[in-house]
């Protein structure tokens, strides 16, 4: 078990004091009807102290092992949990690069990425998919320029945050690509992406639930930052949903799916408390 919540975490202590107050009330009622002999009071006191220590330890272990949390934001339900996004119901978001490339060759797109797995396992006809992308009216309105100097991959470059719905998947232009086909973003690009992304989702989701991976936690490089943690990316994603004012009315919800390999990097307890 990785320690994500410190033993004397302020929020954990606050929750423990809430539990302690309930125990105190129950104990007071019990002592009204039960008389403890003087010879046993020391043992009862020690026993009660041990019980309180055990309760705190259990709460601490639960906080560290938490792998799911539920938030209410703008009257919308948001679920953050570990899992496999391909097994989720409703719409599922897959991040593409700004060209919506589909060439899985470990040069442009790595086959072990979520993007690569989607193309290899979920697209039965890549050429048909490419044609739909190229001819889509909404996407053509989001074209920034055409990069004719690009030797491999597609030429049209789309605005970050642009989405294209294909069956029950929502594909989004997430990362920029440099001349060596390396995915990168500046932090302001990431913020702008999130704002545009939620605006696009608001247009297409039509009361359906939507599942989103932890965007940016893969091979994307954040320029201008020594490191950006998965926890920080998740908190930015939650913050952007809050400021977007998009509402998922019951029973629809938005879920952020954390891959099992990233589980130990996310403090679910902290998310719930904030």
CATH topology for 68-273 is 3.40.220
Contact call for residues 166 and 203 (beta carbons, < 8 A):
no
- The single-letter DSSP state of residue 40 is G
Tens digits of residue pLDDT in 22-67? 877 777 766 666 766 766 667 767 888 898 899 999 999 988 988 8
Report the C-alpha gap between 246 and 89 in whole angstroms.
Answer: 20
Tens digits of residue pLDDT in 111-158? 999 999 999 999 999 999 999 999 999 999 999 999 888 888 899 999
Mean model confidence pLDDT for the chain: 88
Tens digits of residue pLDDT in 153-162? 899 999 999 9
Sign of the CA dihedral with 7 first, then 11, 15, and 20 last: positive
Look at residue 250 in the predicted model and tell me its pLDDT: 84
Percent of the chain with pLDDT over 90: 55
Read off the pLDDT band of 196 (50, 70, 90).
Answer: very high
Say what the pTM is. Answer: 0.86
- The single-letter DSSP state of residue 259 is P
**Token duo for residue 269:** 């307890």
Read off the pLDDT band of 74 (50, 70, 90).
Answer: confident
Look at residue 32 in the predicted model and tell me its pLDDT: 67
Contact call for residues 234 and 80 (beta carbons, < 8 A):
yes
Alpha helices, DSSP H, located in the chain: 10-33, 41-65, 114-122, 126-135, 137-141, 187-204, 230-244, 268-273
DSSP bridge partners of 165 = 170
List Cα–Cα distances, 151 to 143, 147, 245, in angstroms.
19, 9, 41
Beta pairing, strands 169-177 & 163-166:
antiparallel
Cis omega before residue 39 (within 30°)? Answer: no
Report the C-alpha gap between 164 and 100 in whole angstroms.
Answer: 10
């Amino acid at each position: 078990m990785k320690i994500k919540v410190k033993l004397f975490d302020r929020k954990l202590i606050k929750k423990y004091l809430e539990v302690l107050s309930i125990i105190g009330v129950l104990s007071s009622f019990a002592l009204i009807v039960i008389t403890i002999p003087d010879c046993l009071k020391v043992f009862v006191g020690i026993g009660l102290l041990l019980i309180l220590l055990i309760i705190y330890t259990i709460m601490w272990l639960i906080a560290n092992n938490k792998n799911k949390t539920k938030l209410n934001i703008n009257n919308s339900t948001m679920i953050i949990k570990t899992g496999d996004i391909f097994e989720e119901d409703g719409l599922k978001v897959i991040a593409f690069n700004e060209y919506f490339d589909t060439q899985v060759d470990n040069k442009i797109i790595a086959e072990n990425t979520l993007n690569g797995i989607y193309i290899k396992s979920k697209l039965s006809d890549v050429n048909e998919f490419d044609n739909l992308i190229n001819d889509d009216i909404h996407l053509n309105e989001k074209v920034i320029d055409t990069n004719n100097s690009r030797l491999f991959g597609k030429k049209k470059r789309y605005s970050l945050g642009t989405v294209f719905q294909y069956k029950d998947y929502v594909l989004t232009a997430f990362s920029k690509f440099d001349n060596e086909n390396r995915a990168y973003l500046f932090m302001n690009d990431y913020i702008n992406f999130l704002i545009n992304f939620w605006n696009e989702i608001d247009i297409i989701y039509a009361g359906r639930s939507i599942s989103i991976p932890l965007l940016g936690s893969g091979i994307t490089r954040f320029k201008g930052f020594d490191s950006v943690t998965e926890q920080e990316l998740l908190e930015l994603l939650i913050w952007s949903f809050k400021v977007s004012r998009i509402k998922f009315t019951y029973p629809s919800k938005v879920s952020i799916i954390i891959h099992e390999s990233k589980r130990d990097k996310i403090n679910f307890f902290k998310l719930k408390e904030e």
